[in-house]
Every structure is written in structure tokens, then in C-alpha cells.
Amino acid sequence: RTLAGPNGTPTSMLVPVIDVQDDNFTELWPAIILALKTSSFIALDTELSGLGNRKALLAECIEDRYKAVCHAARTRSILSLGLACYKKQENKADDTYLVQVYNLTLLCMDEYTIEPQSVHFLVQHGFDFNKQYAHGIPYYKGNDKGGEVHRQSIRTLFLELLRAQKPLVLHNGLLDMVFLYQCFYAHLPERLGTFTADISQMFPAGVFDTKYLTEYELRFAASYLEYAFKKWWVRRGRASAGKDGTHLYLEFCSYSGNQCNYVDYRPCCEQPASAEAQSVCPRFSAYGWCPSGTACRMSHNTDLIIQQDEKKKRKRKRKAGRGASPHSKQPCDGDGDITPEGPGATEGPPGGNGAPVMQATPPTQKVEEGTHRAGFDAFMTGYIFAYTGTLGATSGPELGGSSVNKLYLSGKSVPLHIVKSSFCKSSKAHSLKMELVWGVGGQS
């Protein structure tokens, strides 16, 4: 269901997010596996219990930075996992995707550190720790133990993700990849080269990082998740007004029976009120995170931030004339990139929609407040990738896409390339897992 603005064009929509917990995981398993197998690409997001030493995470030496992220993954945990499965509808006009979004609440059964600042941030944005400890899906980190991979578990789900062989889309993806490996796959290798060699085999269809894409290829003024997502809302408005030939359509499933009880409808994109009278927080505007949080007296409204950026852009064009060269922005200094929206969150509060939407939403369903969820963030990440694909800014690895297998590195002018070097072998733990995924004899 879309919500129309005063000029009749859609200003918002409701995104159905399936809430997956320990008590309904088995029931929803077939639907999740089908969504993975039939998707065109899969977007993923995580909520973390913390990240540890921020300075070490921004080390100049990438090998040292990798070691710091590994330490964080070994001592912290994934609290929730978001999956957004985008399936291209070949029989539809323009670019139409069927989207299924899942938010999995998890509970690590190993001892782990949880940082107070991460708790504070997540609670501010609606994360329910009572629900997590009461109903979270249990998992153990590191190498397989206790036959967990032979039953329906998060580790088995991760193996199904590998078997699906779909392009994987992340935002600021290095953190996610390291945590996913340690939490659901195996003990992390000690060397970065071994890690990238493993990842390149795990995801042969390619890994895409929308933060790298928006920062280095699209050259956005800011590249945190909510900002990048809502930028396409502006373009969506232009498309509706006939000023832009780009169209992206989304479809969602109509849920019935017991599944209706598991659906949270998340609203997208609220228009700023009294926009002219509000002052934007410069910290939040640049990084999508402010240390003052909700106590900040300035606006954290991303719609307003984008609105003001658009005004500045128009002013620059008027001053420089039509022949002005596009702005050249240096990569962000990274202080807000490792913890973009706050400690322990890979990217921040959700935002708006950038497309005309075809959607069937039962009017009796509840609409949840506090839209910051791993599932919704995964939806936003996938949407950015889908929309930039319509612009020709991205393409699959089979087409030699320039953004494939490049992960954003905060404060660096070049990305991390996910490749298997001739100087690095795959890890022993990974080789054993590949046998488990594909059977003895390797990939079929």
C-alpha cells in the first residue's frame, strides 16, 4: 500500500518484514529457502553487539585492520540478521522485482561481549532485548559442533545461502562478511589474503557493496545507508513527474494464515515538517550518526538533509552554469564509517522508497514504529543495488561489472578486492566446509 502526497504521487509505502524467531523458524524455513533459491540477488544486513577498539578498526595497514575486525567478531556476536530476496520478474514491463524480507532474531550461545553504547543505540531504535533472550534463534560461533549443520539452524541456513549461488549485496560489507564467517561458518583465518580467497569461492556470483558503489561510483554527498536509499526517493519523484525515464517497481507477497501474525509493516519515508525552520545536524548529515543521539537539538531528518543538499546542488549549478564539472569528493575520514549510525550497527535507521510501488497490504495489519531493523536495512541495501542497476551503474559479474567483489574501506582511496591470490591458499576449515556444501568432489 502506498501513501500519496498532496500532488498525488506516492510519498511512502509499507514494507512487509517477516519476523523470524526460534518458535516459528521451522515453520518459515521452507519459505525462506525458496526465496533464497529463486532470487536474482540477496541483500543482507546484521545488528552487532559491538565492535571493540574503533581506532584499531581504522588502522592504516589493512592487514592490521583485518586483525582488529577479526578480534571483534571473535569476542562479539550477531544479534539479528536481515535477508532481503529480490527476484526479477521477467514477464513484467520495466524493472520489476518481487521482494521478500526476513528479520531473524538470534541468540549466540557462546560467551560474548556486549557494549553498553551498542545497547543504548539499539534500544533507542526499537531493538527488543527481552525478545532476543526469550525467543532468539540459538547458534554457536566458529567451527561446526554438535551436529548443528545437520538440522534446521542458522548455520545450515548460511550453507543454503552459499548453495543458492546468488550475488550477495551488503552495505559497508567488510564488517558483515567477517562476522558472518566467524558466527555461522568457521573460525576466521589469520591472514586477510586467506579470508578473501575463501570468500571468493563461497560467493562465486559476486559480492557487491552499496557503500562502495555510492561513495566511489555514484559520488553521493554522503554514503550512509539511509541517505543513499532516500536519494532514490528524490529520483522516484522525478520519474513520477515524467522528468526521468528510470522506473523500478516492487511487488510484495500477500500473506495469509499464521504468517499474518509474523508480519511487521514498516513505513518508508516521512516528509519533513517545517523544513525551512530546522537546522540540520552536520555530524548526522555527513555520517548518519550523532554522538548526542535523540538528545541532539538539531534535525536528524534524512529527508530534510537530502532536500537541503539538492538546494545546494541547484545553487552550484546556477553559479557555475551548465558546463560545471561534477563535484569531486574525498572519501569520508572514517570516524563515522566503522560505526556509521552508532556502535554495533553496520548501518542506520531506515528511510524512504525510491520507486513506484505495486503492493497489497491488508489494512488490518499493524504498522510498527521504530523502523531500524536488520531486515529493513537489508531491504534498503537491496533497493539501492536494484535501482542503480536500472541506471547501468552496476552489472553482474558475468558482464564484468566494475563494482563486483569490491568492499568499501573507510578512509582508503581503493576498495578491498575479493579475489583468490596465487600467493594465498584457501583455509583448511573453508575447504572442509566446501565439501559439506557441495559434497566430496567439490562444486557441482
**Sequence-separated (6 or more) residues with CB below 8 Å from residue 34:** none
Percent residues over pLDDT 70 in the chain? 73
Residue 252 is assigned to a structural domain of this protein: yes
* Domain extent at residue 187: 2-270+342-438
Residue 313 is assigned to a structural domain of this protein: no
Mean residue pLDDT of the chain comes to 79
Q: How far is CA 141 from CA 68, 183, 187, 273, in A?
A: 17, 4, 8, 45
Residue 83 is assigned to a structural domain of this protein: yes
Could you tell me which residue, 81 or 311, shows the higher pLDDT?
Answer: 81
Stretch 255-283: mean pLDDT: 74
pLDDT for residue 179 is more than 60: yes
Location of C-alpha cell 541517505: 227
pLDDT for residue 371 is more than 80: no
95-108 and 168-170 strand pairing: unpaired
pLDDT for residue 346 is more than 50: no
Q: How far is CA 140 from CA 143, 227, 388, in A?
A: 8, 34, 37
Stretch 50-76: mean pLDDT: 95
pLDDT for residue 291 is more than 50: yes
What is the reported pLDDT for 342? 41
The model's confidence at residue 320, banded by pLDDT at 50, 70 and 90, is confident
Could you tell me which residue, 67 or 233, shows the higher pLDDT?
Answer: 67
The model's confidence at residue 241, banded by pLDDT at 50, 70 and 90, is very low
pLDDT for residue 331 is more than 70: no
CATH of the domain at 234: 3.30.420.10
What is the reported pLDDT for 360? 37
The model's confidence at residue 166, banded by pLDDT at 50, 70 and 90, is very high
Percent residues over pLDDT 90 in the chain? 46
The model's confidence at residue 198, banded by pLDDT at 50, 70 and 90, is very high
Residue 334 is assigned to a structural domain of this protein: no
Q: How far is 382 from 363, CA to CA, in rounded Å?
A: 26
Residue 15 is assigned to a structural domain of this protein: yes
pLDDT for residue 260 is more than 80: yes
Q: Check: CB of residue 67 under 8 Å from CB of residue 364.
A: no
Chain CA centroid to CA 405, Å: 16
What is the reported pLDDT for 227? 84
What is the reported pLDDT for 327? 39
Residue 324 is assigned to a structural domain of this protein: no
Q: How many structural domains is the chain composed of?
A: 1
pLDDT for residue 151 is more than 60: yes
Residue 204 is assigned to a structural domain of this protein: yes
pLDDT for residue 174 is more than 80: yes
Q: How far is CA 315 from CA 133, 219, 309, 311, in A?
A: 51, 18, 10, 6
Location of C-alpha cell 537541503: 308
Cβ atoms within 10 Å, residue 180: 22
Residue 280 is assigned to a structural domain of this protein: no
Stretch 205-217: mean pLDDT: 90
Q: Which of 18-32, 124-138, 294-308 comes out lowest in average pLDDT? A: 294-308
What is the reported pLDDT for 237? 53
Question: Could you read off the pLDDT of 382-422 as tens digits, one per residue?
Answer: 999 988 876 555 544 433 467 899 999 998 989 999 988 87
Q: How far is CA 146 from CA 74, 151, 153, 154, 185, in A?
A: 19, 10, 12, 13, 14
Stretch 352-372: mean pLDDT: 41
Identify the CA nearest to 170 among candidates 104, 235, 225, 96: 225
Q: Check: CB of residue 198 under 8 Å from CB of residue 426.
A: yes
**Residue 210 phi, psi dihedral angles, 5° rounding:** -70, -20
pLDDT for residue 28 is more than 60: yes
pTM for the whole structure? 0.81
- C-alpha grid cell, residue 164: 543458492
Cβ atoms within 10 Å, residue 395: 15
